[in-house]
Amino acid sequence: MFSKGFSLSLVSVLGLGASVAQAQTTWTFGGINPPNAPVTIASKKFAELVGERTEGRVTIDFYEGSQLGNGPAQIEAMAMGAQEGYISSGSNASNLVKEFGVVDIPFVFESQDHFLKFMQSDLAQGLKDELRDDYNVRILATNWFRLPRVFLTKESCVTSPADIEGKRARSPNLPMFVAGWESIGTVPVTMAYGETYMGLSQGVADMAESAGEQIYSSKFYEVLPYVTEAQMMYPQNSVYVAESAFQSISEEDQAIVIQAAEDAGDYFVELVTAETAPNKAAMEAEGVTFCDLPADVRAEFSAKVSESVPEFEAEGLLPEGWWAEIQAMK
């Protein structure tokens, strides 16, 4: 017969085991977009999927609308382990690994397929590895494909590089984005995303760009009613997680989190696809003018950018030889 003390000890051990088995991990994730933006809706879907599929072992608290700070602040907080995750532009990683800014070079990619070839290349994989190994930031998913970036202007659509020469263009505080605006003749004005609508309303900048799906939710069109579908860049959102946080959960839950990020990315694309036509119709009803940018004019812009490649390389924004390698991926 077991003693009373032994029985109590056994109960305690079993209770401790159950506690460990049911231990919960809570992650803080942030974003910078408003509540009705597709990326915000999909981010909440990601959090929901993780909670359901891990049966509560991993819970994600998602904070929208720059509640945790602007993009650079949030991704730097992840590098320091002060925040577990962030969902936003794939180029935000350039705050830590400058070469990630290659996706912010205007007119470097000829098409969505061209962009995807780069994202699947050894060049891009090397950047992801450096971000994870040197800065504690892992990329869980990159399949949150957005609509190509457009030009937003006040008085007329853009028909040539001369139309935007010398104009003050809103830019995120990302080195390659700033350099890219300069390469096509504008004067970049850095402005946090959450401050952009007010800044445009006050005339701080003359023009802006936007991923196509964000024009409506951001309401930038109310200030800049001419939208030139320039295909300036082919952006995507990435799901970032602090590597230290990722390694703190089981391999089973790691696999679940990765799959949830990819599934939420597919959901994001569905949202964008479903909203594109009705949102465009709603904006046109409010007097917004949409214009195409002919292929030959895009080629003029690309030629201007190529002239700045030596400067990009000298500033460490673009590894030497990458421009040629990327063009060869067409």
Distance from C-alpha of 6 to C-alpha of 113, rounded to nearest angstrom: 67
Statement: residue 125 has pLDDT above 50 = yes
Torsion of CA 74, 80, 84, 88, to 10 degrees: 30
Statement: residue 80 has pLDDT above 70 = yes
Q: Are 189 and 204 in contact (CB under 8 A)?
A: yes
Distance from C-alpha of 39 to C-alpha of 28, rounded to nearest angstrom: 17
In this predicted model, what pLDDT tens digit does every residue of 25-73 receive, in sequence order? 999 999 999 999 999 999 999 999 999 999 999 999 999 999 999 888 9
Taking the domains of the chain in order of start, what are their residue ranges? 23-327
Pairing of strands 25-30, 85-89: parallel
Pairing of strands 149-153, 226-229: antiparallel
In this predicted model, what pLDDT tens digit does every residue of 147-161 receive, in sequence order? 999 999 999 999 999
Q: Which two tokens stand for residue 256?
A: 């679940």
Instruction: Identify the residue with better confidence: 14 or 234.
Output: 234
Per-residue pLDDT, 50: 98
Please name which of 32, 89, 38 lies closest in space to residue 275, comparing C-alpha atoms: 38
| CATH class of the domain whose range is 23-327 | alpha beta
Distance from C-alpha of 95 to C-alpha of 55, rounded to nearest angstrom: 34
Q: Which two tokens stand for residue 326?
A: 């990327």
Per-residue pLDDT, 5: 43
In this predicted model, what pLDDT tens digit does every residue of 234-280 receive, in sequence order? 999 999 999 999 999 999 999 999 999 999 999 999 999 999 999 99
Q: Give the count of beta carbons closer than 10 Å to the beta carbon of residue 66.
A: 20
